[in-house]
Amino acid sequence: MIDGDREQSGAGANAALAALSEAAALTNASDAHDASLRQSWLVLRSGTRWLAIPADSVREVVLKNFITRVPHAPPQMLGVILIRGRLVPVLSLEGLLRCGAADVAAPTLPRLVVLAGKHSEAAIVADEVRGIVELADISTQNQAGPGTRPGFVRAEISWEKRLLCILDPQQLLAATLGEAESP
């Protein structure tokens, strides 16, 4: 009788283990699917606007240094800066997005976020850099129609009780530096 009880408890344990294994497999598959819908973004503030840029488009983030004005440059170009031996144009997102300067003090020194394009690079001024965050599929969260924003703003979503503009760095560089988009 004791051996029969052991066999039944062993069979029950095997069934419970099989159920746990199936549940874990389903959870892992669900997590893998959720991870495929998530992307890493660098979140920053420029003026009063919060922005997100795909992390793989960011070459580096450096402290803002002296920017040299360029005569007859377009208004969205603040000038150029020398970064590690490279002459990099510095763009004003505040001017492009038509938002004013922030009325609150930045908790960090202004930074330059250097974007890597296909054929060029440019830096944008960030009053505050929040860091790298993972966001779910932004196409399902978009809160604004496509006609109400510049072409380089892919979407606007709610993030930590703020409106977060999702930027397309290739279109931003094309719009500001005249870099031709290739298919």
- In DSSP notation, 1-16 reads -HHHHHHHHHHHHHHH
Q: In terms of domains, do 105 and 156 share one? A: yes
For residue 73, give both structure tokens.
């440059």
Q: Which amino acid is at 85?
A: G
Q: Is residue 70 part of a domain?
A: yes
Q: Point out the residues of the chain with pLDDT beneath 50.
A: 6, 29-36, 102-106, 182-183
Of 82, 42, 63, 182, which is closest to residue 125 (Cα–Cα)? 63
What is the predicted pLDDT for the residue at 180? 52
Q: What is the pLDDT of residue 182?
A: 46
- Whether 7 and 48 map to the same domain: the answer is no
Predicted local distance difference test score (pLDDT) of residue 35? 45
Burial of 124 (0-12, 13-18, 19+ CB in 10 A): buried
Regarding whether 162 and 89 lie in a shared domain, the answer is: yes
Burial of 36 (0-12, 13-18, 19+ CB in 10 A): exposed
Tell me the whole-structure pTM to 2 decimals: 0.68
**How many alpha carbons fall within 13 Å on the CB side of residue 13?**
6
Helix (H, G, I), strand (E, B) or coil at 141: coil
**Residue 158 belongs to a domain:** yes
Claim to verify: residue 72 and residue 15 sit in the same structural domain: no
Identify whether residues 25 and 64 lie together within a single domain: no
> Which pLDDT score, from 0 to 100, does residue 103 have?
47
pLDDT attached to residue 65? 84
Whether 14 and 69 map to the same domain: the answer is no
Q: Are residues 142 and 167 in the same domain?
A: yes
Q: Give yes or no: residues 20 and 84 share one domain.
A: no
How many distinct structural domains can be found in the chain?
Answer: 2
Strand partners, 159: 162
Same domain, 60 and 145: yes
In a domain, 76, yes or no: yes
Q: What is the pLDDT of residue 102?
A: 44
Domain around 101 = 39-177
Quick: pLDDT tens for 75-95. Answer: 888 999 999 999 999 988 876
Phi/psi for 36 (5° steps) reads -70, -20
Looking at residue 33, what is its pLDDT?
41
Q: Determine the Cα–Cα distance for residues 141 and 164; give it in Å rounded to an integer.
A: 11
